[in-house]
Amino acid sequence: MRKMLVLGLLAGMLGVVLAAAPALSKTKSVEVDDDYFVREGAPRTVTVKRNDKVVWEWEGRNPHNVTVKRGPVKFHSPTKTSGTYSKKVTRRGTYKIVCTIHAPGMRMTLKVE
C-alpha cells in the first residue's frame, strides 16, 4: 500500500514537471531598424535555445523583412515598416538572415542550440 502511494505521488509530480516544460521556453527580441538587425555596426549574432520564440520588432521608418538565406529551416517575414514578426525555432543550427531589400549589408546570424 505504501509503495502504491509513493508511486502515485511520483507519477503526479512527473506529470506536473512535464506539463510545465513548454513554459520553460523563452522569447528573444531582435531590433529591426534602418538598416540593421540587433544594433548598428557589424553583423550581429543572436543565440537562443531550441523551442524559444524570436520576435523581430520594427523600429525604423524604412521597409524591411526577415529572410533566412541559409539554415536548417527557411522562413520569411512580410516586408513591413512597423510591427513584429515572430518565429518559434524548433531546429538546432545556424541561420543566416538578411533583409532582402538591404542585403548584403543588413544581415544577422541566429544560432539555435
Per-block average pLDDT, block size 10, for the chain (113 residues)?
55 51 80 93 90 97 98 98 98 98 96 98
pLDDT score at 88: 98
The CATH label, of 3.40.190.10, 2.60.40.420, 1.10.260.30, 3.40.50.2000, for the domain at 25-112 is 2.60.40.420
pLDDT score at 25: 82
Percent of all residues in the chain with a pLDDT value above 70, rounded to a whole number: 80
Coil, helix or strand for 70? strand
pLDDT score at 11: 58
pLDDT score at 15: 54
What is the C-alpha to C-alpha distance for residues 42 and 39, in angstroms, rounded to an integer? 8
